[in-house]
Structure 1
């Protein structure tokens, strides 16, 4: 193995391996230049017997001398010595360094294979000569496929006998197939053979076809002079070849550089021509597209103008058709309303006829009973007013519940005060309620408590206040809470609230009449409120009214209305301006007493004035044709036919004698319900359910002739009621008939809306 070998220069002599295998490692006597006497003297001092030394003649040019020294070191292998002659520590250190270098080199090769997802394994061997080590690895590991780096094609013939590739091709086992590759190209393949030592004849040396011993014997016969001459000529040829090679490399480098520049310029020229052609083509396409776009834009402008004209024409036609359709729908709605009104009137007349017949029969039976039992009717009448304990369906609260809801009847929770008790606002049953606490020490308060609980627990109407429960310990009644106060507060604006419009006022009149009609139609006893006034008419969040304070109401039978023996025991009740004058004269409380108070309330709603002397003022204005002078202007501009109708109704109800006052019949209630809709056509009244006051989706006709929402009416009947929600008369049957015509009209109206 060779140690201390200096690094090889980048360009080695291609003729280096042509030196015959002779012992040239001896002294070469080369005289030094005469211009370097120092060097010559030193050379002369050297022992002439040391034939293994090599002398180099150098001149003044350092660059030439360096190249000459490098060639000498490469050629004679100066600086190399056998491993057996070197120091053991040096050899060991060199071995370690060589192994580390080999390990790093092999790891770099493995990383290349790893990047290509190829699994690798490494085998190595230590040998003095590389080509022998390769053959040893092939034999040891039975390698059958081997890829070998080959020398250039023009040097194959020159290095057949000495290169590692040729050695491997000659000495590798017969079963190993070897591929020789140079610069990524396959140069030659030594195929595997079935017989040993069957190699191509091209790899045999032309100068040594016999055995190695015969070649060695022929070489020994050469004389020393011939060797010297051969060496001299060989050296000259090598120097000339080196110079020629350097010149050729320089020229080749220049040519390659010029060719590269020419190719780059040619490529840029081609790219420029191609880009120019593309730009010209693209410009033509853009011009063509622009021209096409402008033509299409002109066409679109023309089409737009035509479509605009057609659209304007169509819109005029649509507007005309809509106007005609609205007129037709209006006529249809009027006809439908009139038809429904006629049907309802017919049904009402039939019911009235039946009611009169029943009243006649009851009057006959009553007359017979009265004759037989005398004054027994009084006890029967008073027996209708029972205690709260007899009402299991009414919720009963404890004193603690009521105190907790009102913070122990705190003054901050008080919202009203009357002659028989106070009203508090509280929270019960998960909602806001109004709690009316009567004075227990007042007998009138106790009577009022029992009376109001008895009446309201049996009644349910959209315009009557709902009683939620009672507390007998505290003599308290819990009602639903109505946030907008009383009608008295809104008419005279005792608080900073907006005034009621004429439509809302007309609707309130209709709602009061509906509630009174319901109370006066109950069977077998009619209910007379007895204390009807604006303070007892409350307004909810939607400004819909509900009548409250039934503490002094009375149950009046048909017998009481006509029998003088029942006219005693009833004292005058209610506020003086709203009390019935006839009641003060004869002491009889009848439904006409409520109608008198209702008339005054109607006139107050119309004028916004106090009740004292109001009927005379309105009658005078009506006779002079100056009704508009006394109307409440804060309600807006009243339609005169609505104002006259309400004024006429109010004056009729305020007649001094009860016989001259009108009865609140269902037909009158329906007429009043249409007044606030006279100036608007948003939702026709016959589209609204009388119970829910909402547009009906499943209109059903009941036996009373009225149309209701199916679900609401079924809920009414399922609660055990067999009376009409509107008239409170007993229904002849409980069957419902779908009103398909009204349902279709509602759907058409909703679609148009």
Structure 2
């Protein structure tokens, strides 16, 4: 008899996760074979009772069985989702489910029970698929591959791709026939059948009667006894053909399909077989053998009948348990519904109580406030007479104050009118100071702007030396065809005609016809010329450089604090700093300068910034935030001032000078970059200037110091030291009474009054060396080496010598 072709496809409960496995099997293995949707169901170990989960061991067996039966029905219903896929491909399909605590062990049991020869299952989760996968990776797949009965061929699939095929092998030698016969009854007892019509039962009976024989072509025939062909599961199962139900069986039908019974062969068939074995053709010996076989077969039938009755009884118990479970579940649902209604009523009552409590508290507060207001009103009423009298007195005083304020107002108004009049007079005088020259005068003064008299040239014009009205002047002629030149002309006239300062270039007059400005002539040129030693001019001394730094600082402070509107220079660089005959510095070139409007919403020292989309100036000296954001503020001048300080200290070009000085400070080798052509810089002053210049040239304007509060406090003492050091009379009296150099404090550069010896061996003024240490320094101001200790020792001997010298010096002067 030809064996029916069957393919078993092991799938998970979720169709979304198992559809790729079934699709591959239908496409590659089915080949008109009957497909069994195979699933291993793990029984739940936690049982819900009244909304709470309990372990199965703590719940009655009746409740466990009832709950698990409901879960089985849900699984069968979920598996119906696989059937439409088979129906689309016109493939006959049934469901096969086994209940087992381990999926791998369940598949192994199914292979044995149903003598499976073709099985398709997953190699891993689809999410873990990769192109290099050549073998199963899940623990279940590996276990089945290693332990499943060898006569079964297994295809392992992942994400619709074949990963590995375990080929079928020969089975071990078959057990003895007697053993097979003895094992037939328990194997059959594992095969509950679906209860059907009498015709179906007779068909099933015939299939059971054939269980004692073997069919040809089945590789299991030499290993296990043949099972009835109509059996569809080795545990609880439901097998629904697509043609009969199309995957639409209800939950009740699935539950009913789990209840079955073992069908035994009919008496007639048994008698028929017995008659065949007792044929007279076999003789007496054959008759004895047949009698033994019939006896054993009868015993087997009796055992099967007994088992069938037990199965029927168990089935009846299960149905009763199911009915009890449904009844109990309905009672529980009713109780839960009633409990929920009670809880909702309690919650509503609680909410109402809370609302009443809140309203009561609010009423109590209102009553308390009303009492307080009543007391306050009584107090006010009791004091109303006194208040009325006080108001009358206040009214009298107010009238007197009003008259007084009116008199003060009249006085202030008179003073304001006087101030306005004086301001007009000052403006008239100032306007008279700046004369207007004709182009003819300027041509005569510069020999028609001869190149031989040109002393400088910029991007918007040239500067000429001239002699005008018996005065040496400098004339800057701007390009008339340049809108920028015209803008600079008006801006510079507007600023320099309003401000006067010793360290600002003096504007003598202007010529609108020739777009020219007339300044005082400064014979020593620009600071840039002196730094690069143009025309072989001698270098500036360190004393002169410190004085220039101080002068530029005072000029910037004057501009930034100008009233009513502060002024930002915007193009501060050595080329725009001019030197007179005594090397006094004066700041010029205000073409890109701007007035700032002081903010009324902030402090008196805060000013608004000037914004522009086209920043102007010299790149190496320009504020980085002005370049990137177009925001010009007083701190932009501070940045440029910092670069100028570092140039005067080192004599190096402006580009990257800040980083170079920072590296020298970090490496404590500042001496390596100081401009030695300026003379022997005092270490303290040089170190202070280096730190000050780096701070002023910070990239962020918020981190730059304030000129008045921080910078000037450092520079002013330096200027005093520089002026004393540059004065020859400071070191000796007019009568030639010389002062020893060791009387001078290395830091203050003044004669010491309270000399103290530091750990480096040098003597300092006590106030100076203490300030040095307290400011965070732990190195010597003279050697830059680390101080081994910070204690100071009074130098009484030197102090006595200084006092004696002072007395003698005072005596000689008197």
- TM-score class, shorter-chain normalisation, is 0.3 to 0.5
Give the TM-score normalised by structure 2.
Answer: 0.35
Alignment TM-score, normalising by the size of structure 1: 0.38
Pick the structure with greater CA Rg.
1
